[in-house]
Amino acid sequence: MKMMHVGLTEGDIAQTVLLPGSPERSAAIASYFDQAEEKAYNREYRTFTGFLDGKPISVCSTGTGGPSTSIAVEELVQLGAKNLIRIGTCLATSSSVSRGDLIIPNGAVRMEGVANHYSPIEFPAVPDLDLVEILESAALTMKKQLHIGTCITRSSYYTPFDASKRPVRQTLSGLWTSYVEGGAICTDMESAVLFIVGSCLNVKTASLLVAVSDGVPTLQNLEDMPQDCETSLIETALAAVRGL
């Protein structure tokens, strides 16, 4: 039976699946595989399967945000995925993080809403610690500038840049300030959802992110991910997969 959204059937994917956001990055990651084969491209979900050092590996783009990420994880797990690693971008929220630095979230603030459909808000969004350790080891071995800490997963892209124009600005600003003052070092739109859905479905999940802003994110200090940052992100993720 073909999955409704990812367009895949049984046997199309490996147990280890990398999860970028964009279909273009899915293709970029697959270019590192041996015998990469495009299995499906439906909506925002573009999937390739191949081999890495003789071991099967897949990559499937999730699109942007929690709803599409939860759909991808649900359907990939039905097809046999066991290890799901998000690799993508984030915005720094700490002065200790610079553009181009790698970040491994060891937990995520549930500011997105989708995870509430899986578990109560009190349940923590945390990755699999074995995968975190493997990602950390790969990054340190490759001498990457690495940070490990809390990620704020939000559902809206633009509100961190200008909450003042939103009717809920006081609530948004108050929550954001409390998260940052509490020690959050970055923000994305997928990690908390990945961690919670993975936990509910009993599979291993983790995220490897690269910062595309310095410190407090603004539209002025934001830019598309440079090629060298994308290469660093992909190569680190693949080095970690080799350690699985």
Spell 70-99 as b/e; 16+ CB within 10 A means b.
bbbbebbbebebebbbbbbbbbbbbeebeb
Which residues of the chain fall short of a pLDDT of 70? Answer: 217-225
Query: Residue 111: in which H helix or E strand, if any?
Result: strand 102-111
Q: What is the pLDDT of residue 166?
A: 84
pLDDT tens-digit readout, 39-48 = 999 999 999 9
Q: Are 68 and 190 in contact (CB under 8 A)?
A: no
pLDDT tens-digit readout, 91-132 = 999 999 998 999 999 999 999 999 999 999 999 999 999 999
Q: What is the pLDDT of residue 123?
A: 98
pTM higher than 0.85, yes or no? yes
Rounded (10°) angle between helices 129-141 and 227-242:
120
Q: Which domains does the chain have, with CATH numbers?
A: 16-242 (3.40.50.1580)
